[in-house]
Amino acid sequence: MGSTTPTRPKAEAVAYRGATLPNVLEDLVVPNVVDLDFEEKLWNVWFRPLMFNVTQGYFVNLLRVRKSGILSRHRHTGPVHATTLKGRWHYLEHPWWATEGSYAFEVPGDIHTLEVPDGVEEMVTLFHVTGAYIYVDPDGNAQGIEDVFSKLELARAHYKEVGLGGDFADQFVR
């Protein structure tokens, strides 16, 4: 029997010349996301949006925390990917630590309490969040909810307040 492994055709250094497919949005490129010296008004409190995917229900953001303590207790309705760019953090319910340069995958449904420990001056983590955060009390009772739509509205309000205009957030919508 012959090999069933597909072979990739040799690529030429020629750009695609065909028509753009209908309803395909432009790629989104946000420059300098790992340069953590951002202009302060680009941050919405501790949250800097990179993408709001309103058609698939997820968002990508940088979370920055500049003090130690408990940030939130929450459950996710979908998977979360996290890459720690600076500092460290953990969940009180788990033994692992997210340290600078580490990647964490959070399963849907898990309840966890995010803590930035004493001695960490700044923590910055890239999060890709699918679905919603459900904020809960220590017994798991729902206290509030955030999703791509509420995050988008918060970003619009923030950018309006700092003089960039609410529609500044729309560049991140896909």
Per-position DSSP letters for 76-141, written without gaps between them:
ESS-EEEEEEESEEEETTSS-EEETT-EEEE-TT-EEEEEEPTT-S-EEEEEEEES-EEEE-TT--
Give how many domains the chain has, as a whole number. Answer: 1
Q: Answer whether residue 22 is part of any domain.
A: no
Classify residue 44: in a domain, yes or no: yes
What are the pLDDT digits (tens) for 47-89? 889 999 999 999 999 999 888 888 889 999 999 999 999 999 9
- Overall pTM > 0.85: no
| Mean pLDDT on 130-143 | 94
Give me the domain span that covers residue 60: 40-172
Kindly report the number of other CB atoms within 10 A of residue 131's CB atom.
17
Residue 56 inside a domain? The answer is yes
Q: Would residue 32 count as lying in a domain?
A: no
The answer to whether residue 29 sits within a structural domain is no
CA–CA dist 156, 150 (Å, integer)? 10
Q: Is 168 helix (H, G, I), strand (E, B) or coil?
A: helix
Secondary structure of residue 22 in the 3-state scheme: coil
Q: Residue 61 maps to which CATH number?
A: 2.60.120.10
pLDDT at 27 (0 to 100) = 65
d(CA 62, CA 50): 7
